[in-house]
Structure 1
Amino acid sequence: MSSRQSSAPTGDAIKPLLALVKYLQTGSIERPLIELVLMRASQLNGCAYCLDMHSKDARAAGETEQRLYVLQAWREAPFYSDRERAALAWCEAVTRLDPIHGVPDEVYEQARAQFSEKELGDLNMAVILINAWNRIAIPFQSMPGSYQPPKH
């Protein structure tokens, strides 16, 4: 373990994030969709640890290899639903938040057509959560490979 890994936040510092994980696991958005969103944000942020973790969690939730392999090019792939496309567009817009215009109206309208107000709030919290985890894992050089999904 590098000295960076040993100085990563733990305990009380990450309790709010863990509470948000628990909330989202029982929230309004289906787990396979949440996993796609977590994967996409981690791709955008270049977080190898989170990509390793969430690819395993996505497979455990029933996601196919094909959809995971082409997630980075989801706009060109025919096998994502309108709901998934809206969630992925929202994820990208929030992760790469435009400093002047925020989330484009078109992305918001697409998301609202697919998600209730509560669902969109939960989706937004999932994007916020994974961006926070990415910003912990990357600077503290968390090593991918050892994570195994919990058995249900």
Structure 2
Amino acid sequence: MEARMKNPAMVLPDAMKGVRNLLKGVHQGGVPRRTLELVHLRASRINGCGACVHGGVASAKKAGESDARLHAVAVWREAPFFTDAERAAPALTEAAARIADRTGQAVPDAVWDEAAGRFDEDQLAALILMIATTDFFNRLDATVQEPAGPTWN
């Protein structure tokens, strides 16, 4: 399979500069890199972005993530491998990534309160920005039909 076109953020150089600056800020928010990688991977799996799942696994492994935890991201609630904070992060990710599936609050108070109890304001900002940036790339890749594989690592 071949993409319809090059990733739009790569076509327009200033767009990619903005994304890089955004991600730089995300990584300065105080959330452990492994947690950010799990958030990226969970959102990408929800959104069905094969390219982002593939890249997310590679990035998580570079951050020291184990195969057992990577395999369990989709079933994080049942898996014994995650801390309470690491459970709050994918719960927030799922709520934020699935806002179109909800009526009422996009992120229920219980999910928000759990995340806010585990992360400070800077960390919450980093998590929310990571979720949104992942959703951004998931939508770009889905639109141009970016295949999974070593096309952008």
TM-score by length of 2: 0.89
Structure 1 equivalent of residue 5 of structure 2: 5
Structure 1 equivalent of residue 63 of structure 2: 61
Task: Return the offset for 1:2.
Answer: 4.6
Which runs of structure 2 are paired with 1:91-102 in the superposition (5 Å)? 91-97=93-99, 98-102=102-106
Structure 2: 5+ residue stretches without partners: none
Change over 3 Å in CA distance of 1:66–1:4 after alignment to 2: same
Assess if the C-alpha contact under 8 Å between 2:92 and 2:115 holds in 1: yes
Which runs of structure 2 are paired with 1:4-43 in the superposition (5 Å)? 4-6=4-6, 8-9=8-9, 10=11, 11-43=13-45
Q: Choose which of 106, 109, 113 in structure 2 pairs with 1:105.
A: 109
Identity of aligned residues (%): 36
Deviations 1:17-76 (A, max 9, x none): 221112223331110000000000000000000001010010111100011111101001
Q: Choose which of 132, 135, 149 in structure 2 pairs with 1:145.
A: 149
Paired AA for residue 64 in structure 1:
S
Which runs of structure 2 are paired with 1:54-133 in the superposition (5 Å)? 54-97=56-99, 98-133=102-137
Aligned alpha-carbon RMSD (Å): 1.9
Task: Please say which of residues 96-105 and 134-143 is displaced more in the overlay.
Answer: 96-105
Aligned residue pairs total 149
Over 6 Å off, 4+ runs = none
TM-score by length of 1: 0.90
